[in-house]
């Protein structure tokens, strides 16, 4: 027990010391040691007799951990030089069809870029004249000549590794490189970059989307939404991102943008319909559908929805008309087929209800009964067609068929349907 207490006290003491404020002398010493590491790393890189630069890497990795040289441009400049060299070594192996470290190659590439940008941001034209504008331009050219490898790296991590975090880093660095002050002189005149900007932005957005990183999804999907190849999918991601961040205004704006640009696509159509339906705003829904008919007059769902609106308003003749148009546009629109049969039944039931005050022995009442039966006979083929297409949906077609068979005294058919309904726990 005493030994344990001693260990804890000792550990506590170390912790306290490490966080204690250092004296000016101690800071100078730590700074000198860190700079020495940078210098030693530079010397290792300059040694012609050593091909393996792992020791230089070890030294610079140790140096950049020190807070006392983080504002010294040479720290990051040397780090960039080392990781550039390590990347180039692996790249040479790859180009020579030799076995190489793919992950190591791309990681070195990423660090090279990051460290170079830090170095440049600190001091690209120092007073000592070590880095001139000409040197800086040549340096930037060397970076930009390899920028396409960031795209290859992003695709590698996305497709081969499903490492979406790493993929995003690569795609993001591709764009930040093009926009960085160091390299903008080359990206501004890079026709390939500008021609493919939207295409590559889509993959950056998709990587962020996989990570549920909604701000960065929006950042790159907004660039990608005008891309000829993936613009539609980028717009869908924007909608989802606004939905996840509960920005209803932007979500709705994007849906309307999407439906106007891609009127035949289900994604925007269904979401907008559901939106108006959930708001119970039939007037807005009808206005939306009428606009959609102008954009896409052959879509059967447009007329199906108009049928539903009329159906809910008990405008059965109008509903039947719209359902018939929907079926004409798509003979396999089984929901329209079912609803058409249902409207015929409901219309007959309402008519029968209006005659309920008649004497059941009167000719008028008997005619009403016969009219209802005739309507049921008219509705029956639609329910049978729906049942044939969707035999498993007993809970939907069971009740109307039961009512029709009962009314028409079709005992055999009635017994069969009720047997199926019992199997489903409906009776």
Domain range summary for the chain, segments of one domain joined by +: 28-189, 298-427
- Indicate the SS3 state at residue 22: coil
User: Which tens digits make up the pLDDT trace of 344-355?
Assistant: 999 999 999 999
pLDDT of residue 422 exceeding 50: yes
Chain Cα centroid distance, residue 161: 18
- Residue 21 is classified by DSSP as P
Dihedral sign, Cα of residue 171, residue 79, residue 129, residue 139 = negative
Question: Taking Cα atoms as reference points, which of 262, 241, 151 lies closest to residue 196?
Answer: 151
Query: 392-415: per-residue pLDDT in tens?
Result: 999 999 999 999 999 999 999 999
Give the model's pLDDT for residue 49: 79
Helix axes 24-46, 73-95, angle to 10 degrees: 30
What is the pLDDT, as a whole number, of residue 11? Answer: 34
Residue 250: count of CB within 10 angstroms of its CB: 16
Distance separating alpha carbons of residues 58 and 47, to the nearest angstrom = 15
Q: What is the pLDDT of residues 102-151, one digit of tens each?
A: 999 999 999 999 999 998 888 654 545 555 677 788 888 989 999 999 99
| pLDDT tens digits, one per residue of 274-331 | 999 888 889 999 999 999 999 999 999 999 999 999 999 999 999 999 999 999 999 9
**156-201, pLDDT tens digit by residue?**
999 999 999 999 999 999 999 999 888 999 999 999 999 999 999 9
Q: Is the pLDDT of residue 4 over 60?
A: no
Q: How far apart are CA 394 and CA 420, in angstroms?
A: 7
Please name the residue ranges forming H helices in 70-129.
73-95, 102-122
What Å distances lie between residue 313 and 234, 309, 319, 343, CA to CA?
38, 6, 9, 12
| Amino acid 3: pLDDT | 38
Confidence of residue 15 (pLDDT cuts 50, 70, 90): very low
Average pLDDT over residues 240-252: 96
pLDDT of residue 2: 37
CB half-sphere exposure, 92, CA atoms < 13 A: 6
Q: Which of the four CATH numbers 3.20.190.10, 1.25.40.10, 3.30.1540.20, 3.40.50.12280 does domain 298-427 have? A: 1.25.40.10
Query: What is the CA angle 368-373-376, rounded to 5?
Result: 125
Structure-model confidence comparison of residues 17 and 320, the more confident one: 320
For 259, phi and psi rounded to 5 degrees? Answer: -70, -30
Rounded to an integer, what distance in angstroms lies between the CA atom of residue 131 and that of residue 122?
12
Per-residue confidence at 21, pLDDT binned at 50, 70, 90?
confident
- The Cα diameter of the chain in Å comes to 117
| pLDDT on residue 130 | 56
- Per-residue pLDDT of 354-366, as tens digits, reads 998 989 889 999 9
Within a 13 Å sphere around the CA of 84, how many CA atoms are in the beta-carbon half?
Answer: 20
Residue-averaged pLDDT of the chain: 90
The answer to whether 371 touches 348, Cβ cutoff 8 Å, is yes
Nearest-angstrom CA–CA distance, 34 and 240: 48
Question: And the tokens for 142?
Answer: 């060397």
Residue with tokens 């289900």: 266
The answer on pLDDT for 211 being more than 60 is yes
Please give the pLDDT value at position 420.
Answer: 96
H-state helical runs in 163-265: 164-179, 184-187, 191-210, 214-224, 231-244, 248-261
The three-state DSSP-derived secondary structure of 248-280 is: HHHHHHHHHHHHHHCCCCHHHHHHHHHHHHHCC
Neighbours of 5 (CB within 10 A): 9
Per-residue pLDDT tens digits for 40-58:
999 999 998 778 899 999 9
Residues sharing a CB contact under 8 Å with residue 183, sequence separation 6 or more, in sequence order: 140, 143, 144, 147, 177
Q: Distance between CA 212 and CA 160 in Å, rounded?
A: 20
Indicate whether this model's pTM tops 0.85: no
């Amino acid at each position: 027990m005493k030994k344990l207490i001693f260990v804890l006290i000792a550990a506590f003491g170390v912790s306290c010391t490490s966080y204690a404020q250092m004296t000016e002398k101690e800071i100078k010493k730590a700074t000198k040691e860190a700079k020495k590491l940078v210098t030693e790393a530079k010397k290792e890189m300059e040694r012609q007799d050593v091909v393996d630069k792992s020791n230089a890497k070890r030294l610079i990795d140790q140096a950049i951990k020190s807070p006392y040289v983080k504002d010294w441009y040479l720290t990051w400049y040397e780090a960039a030089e080392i990781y550039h060299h390590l990347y180039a070594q692996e790249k040479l192996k790859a180009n020579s069809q030799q076995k190489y470290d793919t992950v190591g190659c791309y990681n070195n590439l990423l660090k090279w870029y990051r460290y170079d940008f830090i170095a440049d941001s600190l001091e690209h034209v120092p007073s000592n004249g070590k880095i001139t504008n000409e040197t800086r331009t040549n340096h930037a050219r060397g970076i930009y000549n390899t920028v396409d490898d960031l795209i290859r790296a992003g695709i590698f991590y996305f497709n081969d590794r499903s490492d979406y975090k790493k993929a995003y880093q690569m795609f993001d660095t591709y764009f930040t490189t093009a926009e960085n002050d160091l390299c903008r002189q080359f990206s501004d005149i890079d026709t390939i970059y500008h021609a493919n900007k939207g295409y590559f932005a889509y993959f950056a957005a998709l990587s962020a989307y996989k990570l549920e990183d909604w701000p960065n999804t929006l950042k790159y999907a907004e660039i990608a939404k005008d891309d000829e190849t993936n613009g539609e999918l980028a717009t869908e991601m924007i909608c989802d991102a606004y939905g996840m961040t509960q920005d209803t205004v932007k979500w709705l704006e994007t849906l309307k943008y999407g439906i106007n640009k891609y009127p035949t696509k289900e994604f925007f159509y269904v979401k907008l319909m559901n939106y108006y339906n959930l708001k119970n705003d039939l007037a807005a829904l009808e206005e939306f559908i009428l606009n959609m008919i102008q954009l896409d007059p052959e879509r059967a769902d447009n007329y199906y929805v108009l049928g539903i609106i009329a159906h809910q308003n008990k405008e059965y003749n109008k509903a039947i008309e719209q359902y018939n148009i929907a079926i004409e546009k798509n003979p396999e629109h089984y929901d329209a087929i079912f609803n058409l049969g249902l409207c015929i039944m409901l219309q007959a039931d309402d008519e029968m209800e209006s005659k309920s005050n008649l004497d059941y022995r009167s000719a008028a009442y008997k005619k009403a009964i016969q009219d209802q039966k005739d309507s049921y006979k008219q509705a029956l083929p639609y329910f049978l067609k729906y049942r044939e297409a969707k035999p498993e949906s007993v809970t939907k077609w069971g009740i109307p068929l039961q009512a029709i068979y009962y009314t028409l005294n079709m005992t055999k058919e009635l017994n069969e349907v009720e047997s199926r309904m019992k199997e489903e726990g409906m009776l």
